Amino acid sequence: MDLAHKSKIAAFIASLTAFLLLPPLFPFLRLFFFAPFLIILYYQKNYISTLWISFVCGLILDLFSTPFFPGMNSLIYTVTTAILYHQRHYFFSDRLSTLPLMTFFFSLVATLLFFILVYGWGGKLNLSLNLIYTDLLAMPALDGIYGFFLFVFPSLIFGKRRRRSKEYFAR
């Protein structure tokens, strides 16, 4: 699976479908449904286009949810993309671990930005070990697992195998 060649439209439709179907079935899950789609865009689009698409994905979330303040998801998605977009150079687009790891980092950064916004907006933030474990470790890991099973696993099963030439491997 190569993120640079993955279908953007199929990834968006899969993310949108998961966003619309999973919350009624599993209301306790607070996943970043569009994160894997945005990670795929990191490897296919330029910086400005990715920022705009991140803003639109956040706007979709803002329209369907009741955030702390209007536009919060758009702001979080856009700033998270601004932070992570240039980090894509540290992860190869053709590795199976890239999408889950980048989704984990997207979730982690977005959650930290949410905490900063809530605290900066005057909200109360009751930091506890349970909150830190749940929101900064378990939920990002679950987002990474979501990204793996929705985007990587199907291409492992149904995708065509790519053979690599001898030049690909270091000697």
Which range is most confident: 81-85, 136-140, 147-151?
A: 81-85
Q: Is the pLDDT of residue 161 over 80?
A: no
Q: What is the mean pLDDT of the chain?
A: 85
CA-closest candidate to residue 142, choices 38, 42, 54, 31: 31
Structure tokens at 88: 């894509």
Structure tokens at 73: 């998801």
Q: Which of 52-61, 67-76, 156-165 has the lowest mean pLDDT?
A: 156-165
Q: Is the pLDDT of residue 171 over 60?
A: no
pLDDT at 89: 85
- Say what the pTM is: 0.85
> pLDDT category, 105, cuts 50, 70, 90?
very high
120 compared with 98, residue with greater pLDDT: 98
Q: Is the pLDDT of residue 160 over 80?
A: no
170 Rama class: left (phi>0) / alpha (psi -120 to 50) / beta: beta
Sign of the torsion formed by the C-alpha atoms of 78, 79, 80 and 82: positive
